[in-house]
Amino acid sequence: MALTASPPRVIRALDAEELATRAAYRLLRALSQLQARGKVPKLCLSSGELALRVYTALARLLRSSSVDSTQIEFWWADDYYVPTGDPHRAAGPLIAAFGVTVDPSKVHPIPAAEGRTDSAVAAATYARDLGDTVFDICILEVNAPGGFNSPNGNSPGVVAIAGDAEHPDRIVLNQRRLSNSTSVWFLAAGPEIAESVAVGMESAPIAGIEETVWLLDRPAAAELPYFDCPL
């Protein structure tokens, strides 16, 4: 179990739409605070439909904010090992959403399936690129019991997971590498993910160095205790 400075914080939203909007505004505020301290924020982003909605909303907010989007580093927690233009590819839609408002030299997608022997080579390449980078914020969409489908900390820092007939190979950072983040934010929406959220809150295989936040809509939070504390 990863150690964190304080218990996980749960932020509830009414539905997925409200959750994506609130998460985007929260992320914009965090980026502003980091840049105000003279930092170039380092974001680690996961794939997923809800996560992409957050990133797209953030891209819109950045265009009318004081945050300098050219001074943000982008890394990925996972992606499929497919050619750059493949629809399975997670990095493409995000890069398209941000357009020219980011510095290409600060965008670090997981290698695509072009010019490399196999997914294991691509994983090793990304591990070298990462080095000892500490993420300021790591955003993970809940997709498995325990929170995020990532190998345990005993595996290499970046792992190639073999695909099957329906899914291509996937390259993913392991739990220890993802926990090398000041803040870890989990995103989850929908009743089908409620059990995974409850397991993740209990086991906490991935946690931030300073904080861990679970941003959930009401159905995703259905199996968590709720305390009503009247004043």
Burial call 148-161: b when 16+ CB within 10 Å, e when fewer: bbbbebebebbbbb
Which run of H or of E encompasses 140? strand 135-141
- Length in residues, the chain: 231
Architecture of domain 9-217: 3-Layer(aba) Sandwich (3.40)
Per-residue pLDDT tens digits for 44-90: 999 888 998 999 899 889 888 999 999 999 999 999 999 988 888 88
Q: Give me the pLDDT at residue 231, please.
A: 44
Asked if pLDDT for residue 1 goes beyond 50, the answer is: no
Cα(first)–Cα(last) distance of the chain, in Å?
35
Residue 78 amino acid letter: D
The more confident residue out of 130 and 7 is 130
Integer Cα distance of 31 and 36 in angstroms = 8
Angle at 78 between CA 37 and CA 41, to 5 degrees: 5
pLDDT tens for each residue of 126-156: 999 999 999 999 999 987 655 677 777 667 7
33-47, 59-73, 106-120: range with lowest mean pLDDT:
106-120
Q: Is the per-residue pLDDT at 227 higher than 60?
A: no
pLDDT of residue 189: 94
Q: Say if pTM beats, i.e. exceeds, 0.85.
A: yes
Q: Which band of pLDDT confidence, cut at 50, 70 and 90, is reported for residue 161?
A: confident
Alpha-carbon span 48 to 190, nearest angstrom = 13
Enumerate the domain spans of the chain: 9-217
pLDDT at 229: 41
How many helices and strands in the chain, by DSSP H and E?
6, 10
Number of neighbouring beta carbons within 10 Å of residue 18 = 14
Alpha-helical regions (H) of the chain = 16-36, 49-62, 91-98, 119-130, 175-178, 194-203
The model's pLDDT over 186-224, given as tens digits with 9 standing for 90+, comes to 999 999 999 989 888 888 889 999 999 999 999 999 998
What torsion do the CA atoms of 215, 220, 226, 230 make, to the nearest 10 degrees?
Answer: 60
